[in-house]
Amino acid sequence: MLTTQIIDDVVARALAEDAPWGDLTSELLIPEEAWASARLEAREPGVFSGGAVWEATMRLVDPRIRSTLLVEDGERFEPGAVLATVEGPARGILRAERVGLNLVQRMSAIATETSRYVAAVAGTGARIVDTRKTTPGLRALERAAVRAGGGHNHRFSLSDAVLAKDNHLAVLAQQHGGDVTAAIRAVRAQISHTTHLEVEVDRLDQIEPVLAGGVDTILLDNFTLDELRAGVALVAGRALVDASGGVTLDTVGAIARTGVDLISVGALTHSVRALDLGLDIGLPDARSAAPAAAPALATEGTSSPAAPPAARP
């Protein structure tokens, strides 16, 4: 779940990275009282994600910046669409611009790519799910973007569920005389009934011993289409079937038609290209006519996070 606290933590770190001692250019060129408006515009079609992140970026830079979202997460848009408007201190908008764009461009790219995969498997019953192949520090945002695109989330972290892969089983089986079924039963005996247990196999002959151990999901890794069909038949509804490995937009439809329940796609998050969005800044008529009125919006005791320290190293 993408909470306000998670969003604020990510955005605050990004802002500190981008302007650790303030925005030198804007502070030298832009008067402190200057007021501006801007529009977040799409330069290519896509699916939007990151509205709360965009608003948090503006708020954390300067609470006086007013941001209005014109689309919702998961909503499709075309080139030229205005996705959001902002108005407030020009320095603050300029400082927030790149961080806000970086995050929303990436989230919208993930939502857009996910929507393509979801469309490719429409009517099959298969779900598109993400993986842990995410950008360090941005997993919660990227997982939210997958949901905005119509996909589903796999386990969020190593702490959420058991997913035993080939290396896990190789080590575990050594302790049970090579008996994979006994190894899986030993795992099942140690976990709560609420903890999901998934096991990866890379050969058809591994399926029955794994199922006998009592798993919730069996992961068929790098199987051919014929092997996937055979694997689904062997499982026969005794567990969910998850397919992974070599999944692309060109292959995902055929994979879904083999009858698998889940298709894990690392490409949703690990290799997307940022969507082309831009922020165009101008001067609102009311504020440009009387910029001195802008400071009146600040409340007593409120300081802008955008204000830099007096000295820089």
52 is in an annotated binding site: no
Task: Give the separation between CA 212 and CA 137, rounded to whole angstroms.
Answer: 38
133 is in an annotated binding site: yes
* Residue given tokens 């589903």 in the structure block: 152
131 is in an annotated binding site: yes
127 is in an annotated binding site: no
282 is in an annotated binding site: no
- Assign 35 to helix, strand or coil: strand
91 is in an annotated binding site: no
Task: Give the separation between CA 231 and CA 219, rounded to whole angstroms.
Answer: 10
E-only strand ranges, 96-150: 127-129
Contacts of residue 104, Cβ cutoff 8 Å, sequence gap at least 6? 40, 49, 50, 53, 54, 277
Cα Rg, the chain, nearest whole Å: 25
DSSP symbols for 126-177: PEEE--S---TT-HHHHHHHHHHTT-B---SSTTT-EEE-HHHHHHHHHTTT
Let me know the angle formed at the C-alpha of 296 by 85 and 312, rounded to the nearest 5 degrees.
Answer: 80
241 is in an annotated binding site: no
Task: Give the separation between CA 301 and CA 223, rounded to whole angstroms.
Answer: 63
4 is in an annotated binding site: no
92 is in an annotated binding site: no
266 is in an annotated binding site: yes
278 is in an annotated binding site: no
**Catalytic residue list:** 98, 133, 165, 200, 221
Binding residues: 98, 131-133, 155, 165, 200, 221, 244-246, 265-267
Binding site as annotated, residues for substrate: 98, 131-133, 155, 165, 200, 221, 244-246, 265-267
